[in-house]
Amino acid sequence: MHAAAIAALSAGALLAACLDRGPGDLLGNSAPDRSGRQPWTIILSDDAGRVLIAQTDSALAPGEDSAAVGRATLWRTLDGPAEPDSFALGVQAHGRRLEWSLRRAGQTVGSGSGALLAYPGDEGAPRYAGLAAITLAGVPPAMRFDAIGGLPMPADMPAPVAPLPIAARGVVSLRVDDCSAWDSTSLRLLERHHLVASFAVPSRLVGRPGRCSRDLLERIAGAGNAIDAHSRYHDAAPAGFADFYIEAVGASRDLRAMGFDAAVFVQPGSWTVGPALFDSPAKLATPYGALIRRVYRALEAYQTDAASVPLPAAGRWPYAGEIRYFDRERLAAFVRDAAARGEWVEFLWHSGDQPWDALDGRLAVIAAMRDSGYVANLTFRDALRAVPPAP
Ligand SMILES: [Zn+2]
């Protein structure tokens, strides 16, 4: 009785608080500001796996009475140069719909009208979807489109990086996945052995209960470790290319907003099906792989099962083995043999997946191999450009 009265009171107080926030916030799916000035990205896709992207060159607030028009760029190949032509993209809002048109030299070459999608997880990027009519040579006349505000893909490809000469013949890189609050202990053990790792961070899990905090990420980065991207939510495989775009481009932008340059995209192991499960070199040749190459310097996924690769890596990398499956003797032998062949190996763990003293012992083996001059310990992004001495 008493408990029920308190529950009823709480429900009333909760409802009052909720009404202040509006029904969208109540469901956690409030539509982000769709009328604000922001870059607009039109993703055109079809069932054959084709993807084109048209994107405004600058921010644009959708017009209400007439279309707002800005200069735009069109990519038919997401990891290649843009079309040389200059385009204009117009966007106009009609309630919960968006109309857009793409023009080249005064001629309309694409247009579409679509409804606002709002769902948990799209905070910060209004997204409309519908059907587009296209009149571009070599492009189907009808494609699906997603129009996304405020989440542009980079206009330029990642800049090339300089080679990194190292004194050792082999390289060991380490990876810590998934942004656990326990990463603070992983950091302490790494620091104790003067080792560095790459931390693969699902950007929208930062700050959640049981997860790494932004403050912890700053301490991790400050100790010489790399912060890399591991999608936004580490959820099930993206349902389509636009969902993948939001996870891949969004994670980079989220981490950049926190001050971190995510050079590498680590595919979530939860993407177990479809084109975003990068389990073969063929999948890297798709628009999914191309988008990753546009945003990141490398993709770590499951397309290789090579336990070690020769250095310089020349674009290859080893499969990351889980360090908890190596006892100290096997770990020492594996690293020593790879170093003798001039190769790179990588180990990963999830904080808490093994007793801390066991992880400490394994890291002690790697530190000893480093101290003996067999291997350099580099982050994944640095290992990609490592050049050992000639044999
Ligand atoms: Zn993961």
Is it the case that residue 4 has pLDDT exceeding 80? no
Same domain? For 142 and 190 the reply is: no
Report pLDDT for 119.
62
Tell me whether residue 14 is in a domain: no
Strands (E), the chain: 40-45, 51-56, 68-75, 87-94, 97-104, 107-117, 127-134, 142-149, 164-165, 170-177, 198-201, 226-229, 264-266, 298-300, 309-310, 320-322, 343-349, 375-377, 386-387
Q: Which residues surround ligand 1, an ion (CB under 5 A)?
A: 177-178, 268
What is the distance in A from the centroid of ligand 1 to the CA of 25? Answer: 28
**293-314 as b/e, with b when 16 or more CB fall inside 10 Å?**
bbbbbbbbbbbbeeebbebbbe
Least confident of 123-132, 136-145, 281-290: 123-132
Q: Above pLDDT 70, what percent of the chain?
A: 90
Q: Are residues 168 and 144 in the same domain?
A: no
Q: Among residues 149, 182, 206, which one ends one of the domains?
A: 149
Domain that holds residue 119: 40-149
- Contact at 8 Å (CB) between 78 and 51? yes
Structural domain includes residue 82: yes
Predicted TM-score of the model (pTM): 0.90
Same domain, yes or no: 380 and 357: yes
| Average pLDDT of the residues in 250-263 | 96
Q: What is the pLDDT of residues 212-243, one digit of tens each?
A: 999 999 999 999 999 999 999 999 999 999 99
Instruction: Clarify whether residues 63 and 170 are in a common domain.
Output: no
194 and 52 fall within a common domain = no
Write out pLDDT tens, residues 130-168: 999 999 999 999 999 999 999 999 999 999 899 999 999
- For residue 17, tell me if it sits in a domain: no
Domain count, the chain: 2
pLDDT digit string, tens, across residues 72-94: 999 999 999 999 999 999 999 99
Q: What CATH number does the domain containing 363 carry?
A: 3.20.20.370
CA of 266 to the centre of ligand 1 (A): 8
Per-residue pLDDT of 264-273, as tens digits, reads 999 999 999 9
Residue 252 and residue 122 in one domain: no
- How many Å lie between the centroid of ligand 1 and the Cα of residue 339? 28
Residue 354: which pLDDT band, with cuts at 50, 70 and 90?
very high
Distance from the alpha carbon of residue 364 to the mean position of ligand 1, in angstroms: 24
